[in-house]
């Protein structure tokens, strides 16, 4: 069991070292900003649709 844990630890440590050397990780700030803007736009769109549906539902005459 100890040998298995040591092997796993060495593999993980090697992977982490390889990832740290890789300088092509991308633009994280830009990705976060674009994702946040898309989330805000989606929430706004849902709010607009919900408001229009509620207004339409309230305008229906049920005959009472």
* pLDDT for the residue 22: 72
Mean pLDDT in consecutive groups of 10 residues from the start of the chain, 64 residues: 84 85 73 92 95 94 80
Q: What is the 3-state secondary structure (H, E, C) of 29-62?
A: HHHHHHHHHHHHHHHHHHHHHHHHHHHHHHHCCC
* pLDDT for the residue 3: 86
* pLDDT for the residue 19: 77
Give the integer Cα–Cα distance in Å for 56 and 60. Answer: 7
* Full-model pTM: 0.53
């Amino acid at each position: 069991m100890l040998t298995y844990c040591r092997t796993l630890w060495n593999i993980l440590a090697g992977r982490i070292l390889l990832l740290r050397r890789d300088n092509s990780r991308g633009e994280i700030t830009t990705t976060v900003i674009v994702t946040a803007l898309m989330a805000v736009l989606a929430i706004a769109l849902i709010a607009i649709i919900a408001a229009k549906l509620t207004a339409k539902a309230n305008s229906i005459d049920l005959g009472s």
